Each structure stands twice: as structure tokens, then as C-alpha cells.
Structure 1
């Protein structure tokens, strides 16, 4: 099986390595970079006959995703295309789909989140608190945070786009966001022009209350979810790979997934897409639903609509 990876930044390199070294695919790359360990081309046109590839991974800057996907979908038929998250830079319709398209929300394949999904199946959930935060200058060792796309609003940066994993898994577990309001701003003195903080409250279509906080600010990294159901509470700590539940009889259980190989979630996502008809991978429609929610977060920003206490 042959794969073509578009983009060779840090995430593109990871996709290429996982597909080549761990899944045994023949990998080629589209990149403007002069140094690349794989056969590579500067443009899709230079890559030649695209029908010779079975699998395409779009790992370019977020603001290029739509055009990349449009071009691939027009050029090939009945192939598999994975687009890195978030799907697009802004909410866009995507029709006339000729291929099977998925979105790279690999966090769905973390065993702790998968176990939480299992535990919450069929339960009446009342409310969910989700928090994710990490100090942006520490994200990519050896890279100046000021020049990465996260710092640049016009390249698809900003905490809402960058950490949209949480939006995806909230909607995967609890249903699409139906109503919401947010406070989304650049609060810090980080040298960026994108938002570094977002607090969102709302309801899902299943009438589950959601409180979501995302930031580039926390020097104590956090990635957690607390779900309260009628007969149990479930606490997910992805930063430390732990999952804890406590039921109405005060019976407490803890699962430890802290020893997890670095590429596990990426490899399992690719396997689901290539070997299991997608499995739990994020579909195009679900990716578009995340984009709708992102748009609503920005549209509902409360920064100019405070009620005086």
C-alpha cells in the first residue's frame, strides 16, 4: 500500500514515520523542504499520477487544508484521505465527496479515553467539566513558539483551533453542542496574535451541561474531564494516563494507562482508517460539526456583552 503525506513539519514527519516504519506502507511526501528522508515532491502536480496512491494524509498548515482536500478529492476516487485536525481554518461546506475522508483526532484512540467512553455508555450524564492547558513556549522544544502556526491567527492558530481535540471528544461522547457561550481572548503577554484562553459553557443535544476551559498559559499542564452521571462519576486525567470512577455505592476503581508508547494513538488511528472501515475515527461529518462548534465559540464571545455585577 502506498501513502502520500502532504506537509513535512513535525506532525507530517510523525505521520510519515508511523506509516512507514510501524505499518509498513510505502511513503512519499509533498513538501517544500529540501531535506526529507522519503521520496518527495514540491507540489501535488509534481507528484504525478495520484491514483497510484491508496492513502493520503493532509498535514499542512490549517489554512491550507481546504484547498488541499478539494484538490485531492477532485483528482482521485475511492481512496482514503485523512486530514489533520482541525478540518479547516473556518467553517466550510464540503460536498461532492468522491473518497472516504476522516479527520485526525487521534486522542479518541487513547486507551483511557476509550475506557471512559465504555464506562459512560448508556448512562444518564448530567454535567461534564473539561480542562486542557499547557504553556505554549514549552510545546515544541527547540522551536521558537513565536514563529509556529499556533501563534498566528491567520494560519489557523489559537487555542480553540489548536486544542480542538477536546471539542471533538465532548461531541463524540455526549452529543453535538446545541447552545453555548464563550469568553475567548488573548490574555497573556505571549508574543502571539491568536487567542490563548477560551472558556465555554453550554448544552449538548442530549441536554448535558458542558464547561470547557482551554489555554496556552498553564505551566502546570492539565488535560482532564470530570463527568457526573446518575449512578457514577468518571474522572479522566490524560496528562497522567489515569481514569477513575466512583459509583453510588462508593465503590472506586482506577485504571492506569500511564505507560503508553508515544505513537500509539496515531498508529491506532491509521489502523482504524485503513483496516477497520474507520472504526472510531472522526468522520468528515463529525469534523464539520467540530468546525461548526468552533465558529459558534467565536461568534458567541462575551467580551463585549458583560452584565455589570
Structure 2
């Protein structure tokens, strides 16, 4: 599909990735960057123009909202009021209440014009895992354990992590929002029924005002019990999901893009593509959204992640 005008709102690390990718996908398009803050006034290298939000109009054929989470709703509303198809970076909103009001305020046509950018759904091993679960090849599933950890100061080299979105509560940062991919893919694969328990902690190490460590136990819709661990502290990046089921134990390594099965008869590699360029997740997600194949996370699915996050916070407060 040929595009003539595309806008990316927010020029942080994820915004700049989207700018580069949009320029790669639509080389003939005029790609406009819109800064969400009042600090840097320079035009990002991947953009053709830097414009203020007020210059966004209905001639734009695609908008990507990549501003801090507390601005997502305002920026997405602005785009959707102009009937611009809008891909919203995760999380959908700063919290469930704001997200619910936003989704309820949209008419059905505008809801179809928007999606939430949970890119891990486009990881090839994630697509393989989706089919594995859908086809019930593992038999009854008993337990699911999802873990992710990465040292926050290493996320964005050359920047002060303490001033990043991730480290600031006023920008809706914290491990729950910033690492909500795990909650999305657990819900996408199994469905989350109930949050059973939760713990939110800060370390002595990073000196932020957000949760840096999250541990929660959830009941899944298939009756299995899931545990989810999120943290900003592991010096070596870690992202795995383990499934204990009737026919096998399966270990999914999202960084290695591999799936390994363990049975009484031995160990089998079900999927392995360690050379996969993970930027293709973002490219495929944009293409998929534009083609309206409805594989991207819907507004309701993005809202469901925020509902789970709210219940985790409530459970943690009641401990």
C-alpha cells in the first residue's frame, strides 16, 4: 500500500524506531514527527518534517502514538477525531479508568481505526506458540510461568534512565506498564480469569518512584495457574515462558526466539530462529494494522491488560 503522509507522535527511542520503519516501508511518503514534550526542538533524522500537533489533519493516512503513556489517550483521540488510522504504543492508557473512558467514548467506526502495539505477538515463536495452544497439542495445561527482566540503566544507552518514561510515575512508568507485553501475551494465549495475589517492590539500587519488581499469581481461563515476574534489575536480559502440561513441559525463550519441549522420551526443539531480526516484528505489525487483518491487539484487548494491571495493584495493596 502506498502512503502519502504519516505522523509519529513522540520522538523517544520507540518513536524513532517507528519513524525509521515507516520511512523504510513507505519511502515515498512524507513522514512527520510530532514531539510530545517541549524540550528538544530538532527534527529527528528519520523524519522529513517536524510539525506541531495542531498541524495534524485528515490528509494523514496513518498515525502512530509513541508518546509517554499519560499522553496516549489525548493524542489518540486527536488522531481518531480526524479519522486517521492510529496505532497506539502500549499501554493503551496510563490506567484502566482512563482507558475505559477512552474506549467508551469512541464510536464503532473509530474503534476499528485503532489498535495497540503489542509487538511480541509478531515474534515468530509467539505465532508458533499460539498455534500450539490453539491446537491443544500439549493436552491439559497445569501451570504457566512468564518472566522478564532487564537492567533499566541499560535500556536506552546514552540517556539518563532516571529521567526516562520507565522510571517516572508522572509519565505512567513502572514495570507493570512498561513490561506489560507479558500480561498481553498470557491473556492472548490463555485468557486471564482472576488475579490471585501480587507483590510490587522497589530496589535500593535504582532510586525510582515506580514499581521495579512485580510478582503475581493469576488464574487462567483454562483453569491453569499462572505466575508472572517482571523486573528492571537483571543485568543480563531474560525473557522466558514455561508451560507445564499433560504431555510435556515447554520452555519458550523469547530472546532466543526458540521453543523446546521436554518429555519422558527426551528433549525436542519445536522452533528455533535465533537469527531473526526482531525489528521485523514492528514492520509486520504496521503492515498488519494497515491491511486491517485484525491480528494486532484491539482496543478491548489493550483495555483488558489495563484491567489486569489494576487488579494486580489492588491485590498488592491488600496484602
In 2, Cα distance between equivalents of 1:17 and 1:71: 23
Shift in Å at residue 205 of structure 1? 2.4
Q: 1:188 aligns with which of 178, 189, 204?
A: 204
Count of residues in Structure 1 that have an aligned counterpart in Structure 2: 299
* Structure 2 CA distance for aligned equivalents of residues 221 and 188 of structure 1: 20
Write the mapping of 1:266-305 to structure 2, written as runs, cut at 5 A. Answer: 266-275=282-291, 277-301=292-316, 305=319
Counterpart of 2:24 in structure 1 is 21
CA distance in 2, matches of 1:265, 1:201: 28
Whole-Å Cα distance in 1 between the matches of residues 27 and 260 of structure 2? 36
Which is worse superposed, 116-125 or 132-141? 116-125
Q: CA deviation at 1:217?
A: 0.9
Q: Which runs of 4+ in 1 moved over 3 A?
A: 22-25, 39-42, 246-251
TM-score, length-scaled by structure 1: 0.91
Within the candidate set 68, 81, 84, 2:75 is matched to 68
Is the aligned partner of 1:168 residue 2:184?
yes
Q: Which of residues 35, 38, 55 in structure 1 aligns to 2:62?
A: 55
1:216-231 pair list within 5 angstroms:
216-231=232-247
Q: Look up the SS of the partner of 2:20 in the other structure.
A: helix
- Residue 86 of structure 1 aligns with which residue? 91
Shift of 1:159: 0.6
Partner of 2:135: 122
RMSD over equivalenced CA pairs, Å: 1.8
TM-score by structure 2 length?
Answer: 0.88
Task: Work out whether residues 177 and 293 of structure 1, in 8 Å CA contact, stay in contact via their aligned partners in 2.
Answer: no
Which range moved further: 143-152 or 24-33?
24-33
Q: CA deviation at 1:249?
A: 4.7
Alignment of 1:118-157 (within 5 A): 118-123=131-136, 124-157=140-173
Partners in 1 of 2:43 and 2:74 — Cα distance?
24
Match in the other structure for 1:253: 269
Match of 1:190, SS state, is coil
Distance 1:211 1:261 in 2: 29
The alignment partner of 1:51 has SS state of coil
2:112 matched to 1:105?
no
Distance 1:142 1:177 in 2: 41
Q: Mark the runs of 5 or more structure 2 residues left unpaired by the alignment.
A: none
Q: Secondary structure at the match of 1:235?
A: strand
